[in-house]
Amino acid sequence: MKFGLIGAGRIGRIHAQNLCRFLTDVHLKWVTDVFEASARDCAEELSIPEWGTDYTKMLNDPEIQAVVVCSSTDTHTQIIRAAADAGKHVFCEKPIDVDLSQIDQALQSVQQAQTILQIGFNRRFDVNFDRIHKAVASGEIGTPHQIHIISRDPGPPPIEYIRKSGGIFLDMMIHDFDMARFLTGHEIIEVYAVGSVQVDPEIGKAGDFDTATVLLKFDNGVTGVIENCRKAVYGYDQRVEVFGSKGCISADNRVPDQVTVRGSRNIHTTLPLHFFIERYQESYIEEMRRFAEAIRLQLPSPVSGEESRIPVVTAMAAQRSAMENRPVKLNEIA
């Protein structure tokens, strides 16, 4: 199968490398980026035959079966619609958009074209979180009562990024909203969010929080807590726990090694893997493998556009909750 890549920034390069090095049944034929140098450098590094700044040329290539969209969020739905009109399958990074009407138009285009759309919620494909998902689904820990998700970055992104990111709930916690649904198998119906600026005052001046906590209420009575912070001095903090009637299952941080050094005064272990590129390397490969498999075998999307709309609604509810200092039901947004 021949793929094209739109957007050769940091996450685009990750997907390009994985497609070229780990997916033997996929050939990455095209790469485009609004910055010509980015497209050219990516093409030269990975021996991609075609490159340029205009993604419509890629969409007009009859050999291209699917495109991987890693451009800025504000271009996602436009590209999804154009790709669907061209009969191409689409993998798109999260979020689809920050405007629900734009999301709905894009999903309608995909439905009409009967093409596959997969959104990049890669954490679903992490082996640890998948194990938790299966344990809950099989009843291994009984009836779930509570879920706790911690997600903290090693450091905040540039202020320029913060200003156009959509905020901590849409940019960062959106992964955790998706994970909460995925792990419990139930729908979030209400959120109560609080946010503060603890890391950098400039983030507050940009209109965002850098630290946030959200209480979740699910349709089956389960409650949950999500904690996010833009800075953890010890590295990338990614932990999950689900507590149920028959037990508890959890996933701790991944570390480069399992070595513990014990001395007379203290005990040392290795810090967690530094950031998402290292922590979720295998999940990025697996999500792309599953996308290619869905195309080849004509399977449903592993992470559909309809499913991926829900975390956007949840993030909007959390944002409103934090601003208005009250619980917000998701049906107030949707």
pLDDT band at 267 (very low <50, low <70, confident <90, very high): confident
The last residue of one of the domains, among 115, 134, 165, is 115
Q: Which domain holds residue 25?
A: 2-115
Whether residue 128 is found in the same domain as residue 27: no
- For residue 201, whether the previous peptide bond is cis, meaning omega lies within 30 degrees of 0, is no
Arithmetic mean of pLDDT, 195-209 = 96
The pLDDT value given to residue 228: 98
Report, as an integer, the average pLDDT of 103-132.
96
- Does the pLDDT at position 319 exceed 80? yes
To which H or E segment does residue 126 belong? none
Q: How confident is the model at residue 22 (pLDDT cuts 50, 70, 90)?
A: very high
pLDDT at residue number 277: 73
Predicted confidence (pLDDT) at residue 275 exceeds the cutoff of 80: no
Q: How confident is residue 123, by pLDDT bands cut at 50, 70 and 90?
A: very high
Write out pLDDT tens, residues 152-164: 999 999 998 888 8
User: Where is pLDDT greater, at 260 or 103?
Assistant: 103
Q: Tell me if 235 sits within 8 A of 222, measured CB to CB.
A: no
pLDDT of residue 147: 98
The residue among 115, 136, 170 that closes a domain is 115
Percent of the chain residues topping a pLDDT of 90? 88
Pairing mode of beta strands 267-269, 260-262 = antiparallel
Q: What is the mean pLDDT of the chain?
A: 95
Measured CA to CA, the distance from residue 31 to residue 48 in angstroms comes to 7
| Residues 177, 314 within the same domain | yes
Domain boundary among 115, 142, 165: 115
Residue 287 included in any domain: no
Does 294 reside within a domain?
A: no
180: left (phi over 0), alpha (psi -120 to 50) or beta: alpha
Q: Which two tokens stand for residue 266?
A: 């203290």
Q: In the prediction, which pLDDT does 327 show? A: 98
With respect to residue 173, please indicate whether it lies within any of the assigned structural domains. Answer: yes
Question: Is pLDDT of 51 > 80?
Answer: yes
Decide: 309 and 315 in contact? Cβ < 8 Å: no
Confidence of residue 318 (pLDDT cuts 50, 70, 90): very high
Q: In the prediction, which pLDDT does 256 show?
A: 82
Rounded to whole angstroms, how far apart are CA atoms 106 and 26? 25
* Residues 108 and 130 reside in one and the same domain: no
pLDDT at 279: 79
- Confirm whether 295 is domain-assigned: no
Cβ–Cβ under 8 Å, residues 67 and 83: yes
Report the candidate in 319, 68, 283 with the shortest Cα–Cα distance to residue 179: 283
| 317-328 average pLDDT score | 97
| 207 and 315 inside one domain | yes
Nearest to 96 by CA among 157, 174, 38: 174
Kindly state whether residues 177 and 262 are assigned to the same domain: yes
Of 126, 107, 95, the closest CA to residue 239 belongs to 126
Q: What mean pLDDT comes out for the span 264-290?
A: 86
pLDDT(334) > 80: no
Overall average pLDDT of the 269-288 stretch: 85
Per the structure, the count of domains in the chain is 2
- Beta strand spans in the chain (E): 2-6, 27-32, 50-52, 64-69, 89-92, 117-119, 144-152, 188-196, 211-218, 223-229, 237-244, 247-251, 260-262, 267-269, 328-329
Give every CB contact of residue 288 below 8 A, 6+ residues apart in sequence: 15, 18, 19, 23, 26, 68, 91
Q: How confident is the model at residue 91 (pLDDT cuts 50, 70, 90)?
A: very high
Q: Name beta bridge partners: 227.
A: 150, 213
Would you state the pLDDT for residue 280? Answer: 86
Q: Do residue 185 and residue 315 come from a single domain?
A: yes
